[in-house]
Structure 1
Amino acid sequence: MRLLNIESSPRGSRSASIAVTSAFIEAYRQACPWVIVDTLNVWEEMLPDFDQEAIGAKYKGVSKEPMDRAESAIWDKIQELAVRFQQADRIVLGVPMWNFAYPYKLKQLIDLASQRNMLFTYDGIEYGPLLKTPRAFVVYARGGTYEEDSPTPASRFDHQKRYIDFWLKFIGVKEVHTLVVDGTTWGGKKKGEEKVALGREEARKLAADF
């Protein structure tokens, strides 16, 4: 059993999303002691920019054309990242909300790893998933709250959960389990700590059936 743990917050021990996903993984290790956890922190992974060389490598890789040295190095990294997804039996992902969406480094990982014939297929008409990952668990951490009757209703302001849930299913995750931990900063430090503590407790419960 191999679990890919994706950390997308740069805040380390101060991160709400990492605190909750860590609690989940600790509990999951107890339920599944043979699990191998592969942690991918997008801020420490030295992800290559998705620049001219990366785009050139992408199109040459799909069409199997020769690459120059810079393109080959980036393509090797792209394939390495894709393999980590391909090998995962489970995926755990912590996502803090940035500007009502998600950190740009997480999008960088998605843009690099999500390549045709690696994580998905496209025959010119339809897309298809390539992963066969049974489950993913995603923690969505938000500083504020987004009830529909609030000044920031989720239907208008939440551009975090919908895309990440869609992407995971697009690449082939069968079930996406989610936990939203909100109000981590807007209500003050004490209230935020209480929200994170509740999130950690709920995460431990959810780990039992993962």
Structure 2
Amino acid sequence: MRLLNVVSSPRGEKSASIAVASAFIAAYGNTVNSVEVDTLNVWEEDLPEFDSDTIGAKYKGVSKDPLDSSELSAWLRIESLVARFREADRIVIGVPMWNFGYPYKLKQLIDLVSQRNKLFTFDGKAYGPMLKIPRALVIHVRGQSDDTVTSIGNPGFKYQADYLAFWLKFIGVEDVKSLVIEHTWDARAPETIERGKAEAIALASAF
């Protein structure tokens, strides 16, 4: 069993999302015979920029034109990241909320690996997933909650989770579980983080 653990917080031991994900992974390791954890930390990984070389390689791949050396170097780095998703049997992603979204490095990773004929297909009419992963867990950590938001028309925070669930299903994850831990900036933080760990551990047996 190979579990891809995507870390999107740069806070290390101070990170609530890392703490909850670690509790889940430890518990999951006790439920199966053998788990190989591949940790992809977007802050420590040498992610290529999605610059002119990278996007040039993308479009040349579509048109089947030869890549120059810079484009080839960027594309090989993308393929190495894609391989880690394709080799995974399960996925865990810890996601702190940043400015009502997610860390930009996580979006960079998504932009890099979401390539046609790598993680999805497109025949000109319809998209299709290329992965066959039964389950993923996304741990959403938020400093506050949306239950106190009263402004008219505010959509709340659910859209953040909806996007990541959509993307995971788009590339081929059948069942996406979401675990939300809120109030991690105030006096309730120690209690909510411990409760989040307990909820994560409870999810491990059916993962």
Shorter-chain TM range is: over 0.9
After TM superposition, the score normalised by the length of structure 1 is 0.94
Q: Is residue 146 of structure 1 aligned with residue 143 of structure 2? A: no
Q: What are the equivalent positions in structure 2 for 1:58-137 lying under 5 Å apart?
A: 58-137=58-137
Partner of 1:11: 11
Q: Is residue 40 of structure 1 aligned with residue 40 of structure 2? A: yes
**1:69, distance to aligned residue in structure 2 (A):** 1.1
Contact 1:144–1:183 (8 Å) recurs in 2: yes
Partner of 1:167: 167
Contact 1:129–1:172 (8 Å) recurs in 2: yes
CA distance in 2, matches of 1:114, 1:32: 30
**1:33, distance to aligned residue in structure 2 (A):** 3.6
Q: What are the equivalent positions in structure 2 for 1:197-208 lying under 5 Å apart?
A: 197-208=194-205
List structure 1 segments (4+ residues) > 4 angstroms apart after TM superposition.
Answer: 152-155
Q: 1:129 to 1:152 in 2, by over 3 A?
A: farther
**1:62, distance to aligned residue in structure 2 (A):** 2.7
Give identity over the alignment, percent: 57
Q: 1:164 to 1:153 in 2, by over 3 A?
A: farther
After TM superposition, the score normalised by the length of structure 2 is 0.95
Unpaired segments ≥5 residues, structure 2: none
Partner of 1:193: 190
User: What are the superposed Cα offsets for residues 102-148 of structure 1, whole Å, 9 maximum, x if unpaired?
Assistant: 0100000000011000100111111111110000011000000112x
Classify the secondary structure of the residue corresponding to 1:193.
helix
**1:61, distance to aligned residue in structure 2 (A):** 2.0
Classify the secondary structure of the residue corresponding to 2:93.
strand
Contact 1:142–1:181 (8 Å) recurs in 2: yes
Contact 1:100–1:157 (8 Å) recurs in 2: no
Classify the secondary structure of the residue corresponding to 2:146.
coil
CA distance in 2, matches of 1:84, 1:180: 25
**1:64, distance to aligned residue in structure 2 (A):** 2.5
CA distance in 2, matches of 1:152, 1:8: 29
**1:42, distance to aligned residue in structure 2 (A):** 0.3
What's the RMSD between the two structures over aligned residues?
A: 1.5
Q: 1:105 to 1:130 in 2, by over 3 A?
A: same
Q: 1:84 to 1:193 in 2, by over 3 A?
A: same
Unpaired segments ≥5 residues, structure 1: none
